[in-house]
Structure 1
Amino acid sequence: MRQLQTLIAIADHGTFARAAEVVHITPSAVSQQILALENEIGVPLFNRETRPPTLNLQGMQLLETARSILRQIQDTRAVITEGRTIGSFSIGSVRTSAIGLLPLAIVSLRKAYPELKISLKVGLSAALIADVLADRLDMAIVAEHVGVPRSLTWEPFIREPLVVIAPKDTPHEDARAILENVPFVRFRSLVPLANMIDTELARLGIVTQDTAEIDTITTIVECVAAGLGAGIVPDIALRGLSTPLKVVPFGDPQIYRQIGIVRPGVSPKAAFFDDVHTRLMNLAGPYGVPTARPRSDKSASGPAGAPA
């Protein structure tokens, strides 16, 4: 374990000297541990022609295995110690209007598990799913996604309707009239929601008068509130908005998008994942989606199998 921890520290911090500071040993001890690891594996793990030495192909392969091994040891320790919540838990999330729920959930988790260090990383769906698959993240928050590997599961915690928004004094009353006659602030981004909106507009044969292309939902809401034009957003994006807007359903019938948790299919942390899901579902209010899996008998404030 010490050798694998040292290998990860070198990869994460770049040099033997910096890794020595992180794992609290001397640089010479770091070198000795790596040499011992290489002797046991039977192949060099570093390109020593470079300064500082860098991981070679075999080293990179072992690095991924090392992360997985140490994560499994942590998970097993959690079960053995009856769910004592120490250590760290990493969450990834896409840039979504529902991301506002995540900080609230993390704050409540910190109160429930004061010894647990929770970190958040924001990125794109594909990269976050890859990070969960490689054990670089414990879980990720992503929209409904077709690219989830079989070893992972995706479970929605929110199903929210899409709505057309426009300035309050807009004379038109239905979605088609608003979208065809009011300047349109289009959501332009490489995410499933943008494709969902464009697909429904095309299906309905609605031709918009684009005045702007924006890559974040919150900015679209701000632009519409300022009077720039109309837009299409998830309903939750309007939560807490002080400016009154005209809001009508989008789609025929109204369409919904789902956001959920990507997590390992089998994990000792299953009850803890359920706890995170429950907190996000409750924060989603009327659009919350309960878990479809059997729940643990433990209470949501202290599940067994929490991170160690």
Structure 2
Amino acid sequence: MDTRQLKTLLAIQTHGTFAQAADVVGLTPSAVSQQVQALEIDLRVAIFDRSTRPPSLTPEGLQVIEMARDILRREEDARASLRGDQIAGTLMLGSVRSSALNLLPRALVQMSQRYPDLRSSLRVSLSANLIADVAAGRLDAAIVAEHVGIPNALRWSPFLREPLWLIAPKGMEAGDPIELLTTRPYIRFRSPVPLANLIDTELSRLGVITNDVAEIDTVGAIVTCVRQGLGISVVPHVALQQPEDAKLARLSFGQPQVNRQIGIVERTVSPRGEIIARLHAVLSELCGEYGVARPTQK
């Protein structure tokens, strides 16, 4: 097994056929087929089911794909380290589907401008899946909300601590928040994420029974519905970044006002630690007054 075979395998997986992969890696289709057969013999598994057209990956083949990605990324990291360049290679990053996700593309663009040899690969998933992937080494780091289930081998560093706001449509009289919550149509954030639980917990603590008019699983869609006058809702500050959001009535939510945190989870010992620290700094800067500096690691 050598890295040329692994690169060819990933080309097949990416482009769908042996012939298309051959064009990408600069080989003939027969040479590509020979590389795959040699890899199968070496690993003693069938990577492709050749009874289908085009050949499809077997369950064992999917495992080999994951192994190939890991080996090639480690090779890339080792080459960067030997060159003395710690800000190079590919950063495997995950993120929850959060309103804070709109900060991440801006941060990655800034990182690529500052460090042209650095590439990133982003995957969006649930917090629990991302934390497990970071722990297993499938991801270098992930953007997740404050979470109770972070293993001891991982470190979570917040870059954002922001308030939650009760928002109402333009023109709606904004008086006492409790009165609004009990008398106005309410759009509930219904999602298996910490933010939804944080909001519901505070509503329960306040003894508020809302008049739900809708249940929506994305914060962006909730803000749009409030703009259109459907009802009121509770959202984090970072969700209110569009010019038209300035027209919404905005009241403190909670007594005292509730805040939520978003941060980066990473392994406590990581070869990508320096890159992750710099990404944290960029994200914190983009968060403005609500940005949180990375604590000094002892």
Scaled to the shorter chain, the TM-score interval is 0.7 to 0.9
Contact 1:71–1:135 (CA<8 Å) still a contact in 2?
no
Distance 1:149 1:18 in 2: 42
214-223 vs 189-198, which deviates more?
214-223
Distance verdict in 2 for CA 1:225–1:42, change over 3 Å: closer
Contact 1:76–1:268 (CA<8 Å) still a contact in 2?
no
Determine helix, strand or coil for the equivalent of 2:116: coil
Distance 2:101 2:22 in 1: 37
1:59 to 61, 80, 85: 61
Distance verdict in 2 for CA 1:158–1:81, change over 3 Å: same
Contact 1:164–1:248 (CA<8 Å) still a contact in 2?
yes
2:282 to 279, 284, 290: 279
CA deviation after TM superposition for structure 1 residue 280, in Å: 0.3
Distance 1:195 1:26 in 2: 55
Residue 216 (structure 1) aligns with: 218
Residue 50 (structure 1) aligns with: 52
1:267 to 266, 270, 295: 270
CA deviation after TM superposition for structure 1 residue 206, in Å: 0.4
Distance verdict in 2 for CA 1:42–1:191, change over 3 Å: same
CA deviation after TM superposition for structure 1 residue 30, in Å: 1.7
1:144 to 146, 157, 176: 146
CA deviation after TM superposition for structure 1 residue 86, in Å: 4.8
Q: Which has the bigger relative contact order, CA under 8 A and spacing at least 6? A: 1
The superposition leaves residues 249-285 of structure 1 with CA deviations (integer Å, 9 ceiling, x where unpaired) of 2223322211112334432221111000000011112
Residue 300 (structure 1) aligns with: none
1:14 to 13, 16, 37: 16
Determine helix, strand or coil for the equivalent of 1:197: helix
29-38 vs 128-137, which deviates more?
128-137
Residue 118 (structure 2) aligns with: 116
Distance 1:44 1:237 in 2: 48
Q: TM-score, normalised by structure 2?
A: 0.85
RMSD after superposition: 2.7
200-209 vs 164-173, which deviates more?
164-173
Q: TM-score, normalised by structure 1?
A: 0.83
Distance verdict in 2 for CA 1:131–1:14, change over 3 Å: farther
Distance 1:57 1:217 in 2: 37
Distance 1:145 1:154 in 2: 9
Residue 71 (structure 1) aligns with: 73
Distance verdict in 2 for CA 1:209–1:158, change over 3 Å: same
Task: Kindly indicate whether residue 168 of structure 2 is the aligned counterpart of residue 166 of structure 1.
Answer: yes
Amino acid at match of 2:83: T
Distance verdict in 2 for CA 1:133–1:35, change over 3 Å: farther
Residue 33 (structure 1) aligns with: 35
Alignment of 1:83-94 (within 5 A): 83=85, 85-94=87-96
Q: Which runs of 5+ in 2 are unaligned?
A: none
Residue 258 (structure 1) aligns with: 261
Distance 2:134 2:27 in 1: 30
Distance 1:149 1:16 in 2: 41
CA deviation after TM superposition for structure 1 residue 151, in Å: 4.9
2:201 to 192, 199, 202: 199
Residue 82 (structure 1) aligns with: 84
The superposition leaves residues 216-267 of structure 1 with CA deviations (integer Å, 9 ceiling, x where unpaired) of 2223223323333221011222234443333222223322211112334432
What number of residue pairs does the alignment pair up?
A: 295
| Percent of residue pairs bearing the same amino acid type | 53
Amino acid at match of 2:167: I
142-151 vs 228-237, which deviates more?
142-151
Determine helix, strand or coil for the equivalent of 1:11: helix
Determine helix, strand or coil for the equivalent of 1:190: coil
Amino acid at match of 2:32: V
Contact 2:161–2:259 (CA<8 Å) still a contact in 1?
yes
Contact 1:168–1:245 (CA<8 Å) still a contact in 2?
yes
Distance 2:137 2:15 in 1: 18
